[in-house]
C-alpha cells in the first residue's frame, strides 16, 4: 500500500513537471533516455548498475531531479537481473550539494510539500533497497548529499573533499530521519557532535569515525567501487538482504508511519520568517563567495 502510494506520487510528480524520463532496455544495458541529468547503465553480465548524477553546477536535489532518481531506483529495484547499484557523480569535485536551496527559499506551498514527499520517497527507496548499494563519493557531499551517501550500504570516498550534515550552519534543523540515518552509520555520540555543530568533515576525518568506509585516490574510485561490489555480491543474497532488513526496518518504519506529519512539519518550519531569512542569507553568501 505504502509502496503503491509512493509510486503514484512519483508518477504524479513526473506528470506535473511534464518531463518524460523512461528507462529503455537497449541490447544488454539499461540506459536513461531523454535526460542529460541522470545516466543509469547496467552491466548484464555482473548485474551491477551505475547511476551517475549530472545536474550542473552542483547536483543539487530539485523536485525534478529527485523524481528522476526515484524512477530509476524503482526501475532497478524491479529489474530482476540487477543485484547492485553504484551511485556516483559526473560533475568534477561535487558528489551532490544536497537539497536545492532554491526549492526551499520563497517557495510555492504546493510545490514545497511535493518536494519534501519526493525526498522522503528517495530516502525510503534507497535506504530500504533490496539491492546492494555503494556510494562512490568523488566530490563534496554536504547535507542531502551526505544523506544519499549514508543511505547506501558502503561508502568509498576520494581525498580532498568534505562530507557531513551541515544544516545547523544554515540555521536549519536536520530532519529526524537524516539524524537517524547518521546514527545508524556512526552511532549517537558522533552524530550529536556532527549534527549540533553542522560539521563538514574531510574525507580522512569521515573515515576515522566510520562515516566513510574506504578512502581511495580519485582515479581509482570507480574500479574500487566495482571490486567492492563484487565482494558484496558473493554473499548469499537472501541472508544478506534479511540481515539488512532486520537492521533497517525500524528506522524506515519510523518515517513510514509519520510521513504526512513530517511533510507538514517541514513545510511549517521552512515557511517561518526566521528560516526564510537564514536561507536567503546563506544563498547570498554562496553567491558572494563566488565573486571573491
Please say whether the beta carbons of 95 and 140 come within 8 A.
yes
Minimum CB separation of residue 24 from ligand LGGBLMCM in Å reads: 30
Angle at 24 between CA 21 and CA 28, to 5 degrees: 150
- Rounded to the nearest angstrom, the gap between the alpha carbon of residue 76 and the centroid of all alpha carbons in its chain is 16
Catalytic residue flag (residue 167): yes
Decide if 141 contacts 162 (C-beta within 8 A).
Answer: yes
Nearest to ligand LGGBLMCM of 76, 172 (CB atom): 172
DSSP letters spanning 175-208: -HHHHHHHHHHH-HHHHHHHHHHT--EEHHHHHH
Interaction site with ligand LGGBLMCM (CB under 6 A): 57-58, 60, 94, 97-102, 104, 140, 142-144, 166-167, 170, 172, 174-175, 269-270, 275, 286-287, 289-290
Q: Is 268 known to be catalytic?
A: no
Catalytic choice (128, 144, 145, 198):
144
CB of 290 to ligand LGGBLMCM, least distance (A): 4
Active-site hit among 167, 211, 255, 279: 167
Residue 69 CB, shortest distance to ligand LGGBLMCM, in Å, is 14
DSSP labels, 69-109: HHHHHHHHHH-TT--EEEEEESSTEES---B-HHHHSS--H
Strand positions, DSSP E, the chain: 23-26, 29-32, 38-43, 48-53, 84-89, 93-94, 132-137, 139-142, 154-157, 162-164, 201-202, 214-215
Pick 160 or 217: Cβ nearer ligand LGGBLMCM: 160
Which residue of the chain is nearest ligand LGGBLMCM when measured via CB? 98
How far apart are alpha carbons 96 and 201 in whole angstroms?
A: 15
> Is the Cβ of residue 76 or residue 206 nearer to ligand LGGBLMCM in the bound state?
206
Indicate if 252 belongs to the active site: no
| Residue 61: DSSP 8-state | B
Of 64, 166, 198, 199, which one is the catalytic site residue?
A: 166
Active-site residue flag, 99: yes
Closest contact distance (angstroms) between CB of 241 and ligand LGGBLMCM is 29
Catalytic residue selected from 61, 63, 99, 131: 99
Q: Tell me how far, at minimum, the Cβ of 51 lies from ligand LGGBLMCM, in Å.
A: 19
Catalytic residue positions? Answer: 99, 144, 166-167
Amino acid at each position: 500500500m505504502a509502496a503503491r502510494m509512493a509510486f503514484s506520487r512519483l508518477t504524479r510528480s513526473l506528470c506535473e513537471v511534464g518531463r518524460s524520463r523512461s528507462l529503455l532496455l537497449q541490447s544488454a544495458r539499461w540506459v536513461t533516455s531523454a535526460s542529460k541529468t541522470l545516466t543509469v547503465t547496467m552491466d548484464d553480465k555482473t548485474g551491477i548498475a551505475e547511476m551517475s548524477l549530472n545536474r550542473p553546477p552542483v547536483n543539487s536535489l530539485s523536485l525534478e531531479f529527485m523524481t528522476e532518481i526515484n524512477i530509476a531506483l524503482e526501475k532497478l529495484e524491479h529489474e530482476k537481473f540487477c543485484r547492485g547499484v553504484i551511485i556516483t557523480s559526473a560533475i568534477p569535485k561535487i558528489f551532490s550539494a544536497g537539497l536545492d536551496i532554491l526549492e526551499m527559499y520563497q517557495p510555492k506551498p504546493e510545490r514545497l510539500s511535493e518536494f519534501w514527499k519526493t525526498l522522503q520517497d528517495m530516502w525510503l527507496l534507497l535506504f530500504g533497497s533490496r539491492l546492494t548499494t555503494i556510494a562512490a563519493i568523488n566530490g563534496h557531499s554536504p547535507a542531502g548529499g551526505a544523506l544519499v551517501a549514508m543511505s547506501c550500504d558502503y561508502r568509498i570516498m576520494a581525498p580532498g573533499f568534505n562530507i557531513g550534515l551541515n544544516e545547523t550552519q544554515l540555521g536549519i534543523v536536520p530532519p529526524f530521519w537524516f539524524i537517524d540515518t547518521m546514527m545508524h552509520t556512526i552511532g549517537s555520540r558522533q552524530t550529536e557532535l556532527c549534527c549540533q555543530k553542522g560539521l563538514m568533515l574531510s574525507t580522512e576525518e569521515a573515515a576515522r569515525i566510520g562515516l566513510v568506509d574506504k578512502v581511495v585516490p580519485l582515479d581509482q574510485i570507480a574500479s574500487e567501487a566495482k571490486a567492492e561490489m563484487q565482494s558484496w555480491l558473493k554473499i548469499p543474497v537472501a541472508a544478506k538482504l534479511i540481515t539488512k532488513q532486520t537492521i533497517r526496518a525500524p528506522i524506515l518504519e519510523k518515517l513510514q508511519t509519520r510521513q504526512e506529519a513530517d511533510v507538514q512539519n517541514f513545510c511549517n518550519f521552512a515557511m517561518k520568517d526566521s528560516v526564510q531569512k537564514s536561507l536567503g542569507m546563506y544563498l547570498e553568501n554562496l553567491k558572494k563567495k563566488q565573486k571573491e
